[in-house]
Amino acid sequence: MGPPRLVQYRPTSFDQGGRLYAQTPSAQLFPKHLRVSLFGHTHFDVDMIQAHYELIRNLSSSPHLLPAWQMRQWVKSTWTSFGIPEFPDFEKQWPTRILNMATVQEMRNSLVKLGCRDIPGPLDAFIQHLYAAKMSVINQPLSWCPRRCVEQDQGYSYRILENIERTVLLKLLDTLQSLMSVESIVFIHDGFLIAPEPPPAVLQQAQTAVLSSLQILTVHSHSLNVSVSNPS
């Protein structure tokens, strides 16, 4: 093993918010298949499942939003029961797409464009609950994550959420390093590769600590829905 390699990261947006990008040669800049080839046998992928959805669910404390894995199952079964045409990974992609839409009607139109003439009541209720939860989060400044200075255009929600995601992800990374001995980290935009594998108890402890320190520990959630997998 050679000497440690340090990579510089910084935001590229004019307001210095949002995701961090490598400024020196880094595996972050590699295509995913190349990262897997280089690090898949030694590192483990730490990633928040449905990150923006989970952040909204936790921060809004909405009683109407299920944890991401349950939400995906529910969306898929509901979608199928009403015979709505599918697209690849729709139970993952559709909730993410509508999160970036500006109005409830725009969210509804996303179903119309998929061939749904009459929007089923359960899916319409999901849209309205998700929109309300999203607005409660992006319109309320967080003491640990100041508002971004960006225009309220079509991508406004995404820019606010990616700033929150960045803060939470870095906090999780710092917490993990305080709880275990880390040999290597490859930082990606919405997650990171780490060696060695974080033990499940340590990962849960880190998630609970992050939620508690940011004061978003709610009655119905004690997890950021972080998954650990071998990318190979």
What local confidence, expressed as pLDDT, does residue 219 receive? 46
Task: Give the tens place of pLDDT for each residue, 97-150.
Answer: 999 898 999 999 998 888 888 899 999 999 999 999 999 998 888 888 877 777
DSSP H or E run through 200: helix 200-213
Q: Which strand ranges, in their side-by-side order, compose the sheet holding 44-48? A: 184-187, 191-195, 44-48, 226-229
Percentages helix, strand, coil for the chain (3-state, rounded to 5) are 45, 10, 40
Alpha carbon 143 to chain centroid distance?
20
Inter-axis angle of helices 156-179 and 121-138, nearest 10: 70
Task: Give the tens place of pLDDT for each residue, 149-163.
Answer: 777 766 788 888 888
Beta pairing partners, 44: 194
Q: Which residue has the higher pLDDT, 224 or 166?
A: 166
What local confidence, expressed as pLDDT, does residue 114 receive? 83
The residues spanned by each domain of the chain are 9-49+155-229, 54-138
Contact present, 8 and 26 (Cβ < 8 Å): no
Rounded distance between C-alpha atoms, residue 187 and residue 176, angstroms: 14
pLDDT average, residue stretch 92-98? 91
Q: Which amino acid is at 49?
A: I
Rounded distance between C-alpha atoms, residue 69 and residue 182, angstroms: 28
Percent of the chain's residues with pLDDT above 90: 31
Has residue 228 got a pLDDT over 70? yes
Q: Which of 106-115, 124-133, 164-173, 220-229 has the lowest mean pLDDT?
A: 220-229
- pLDDT range class, residue 222, cuts 50, 70, 90: low
Task: Give the tens place of pLDDT for each residue, 44-92.
Answer: 999 888 989 988 998 888 999 998 889 999 998 998 888 887 777 888 8
The residues near 130 (Cβ < 8 Å, ≥ 6 apart) are 53, 56, 65, 95, 98, 99, 107
Contact present, 210 and 172 (Cβ < 8 Å): yes
The residues near 136 (Cβ < 8 Å, ≥ 6 apart) are 59, 60
What local confidence, expressed as pLDDT, does residue 194 receive? 93
Contact present, 165 and 51 (Cβ < 8 Å): yes
Q: What is the mean pLDDT of the chain?
A: 85
- pLDDT range class, residue 15, cuts 50, 70, 90: confident
Q: Which pair of tokens denotes residue 152?
A: 């309220």
Q: Which of 2-11, 119-128, 181-190, 207-216 has the lowest mean pLDDT?
A: 2-11
The residues near 169 (Cβ < 8 Å, ≥ 6 apart) are 48, 190, 191, 192
Contact present, 150 and 17 (Cβ < 8 Å): yes
Pairing of strands 191-195, 184-187: antiparallel
What local confidence, expressed as pLDDT, does residue 123 receive? 94
Q: Which residue has the higher pLDDT, 40 or 108?
A: 108
Q: Which pair of tokens denotes residue 214?
A: 């940011």
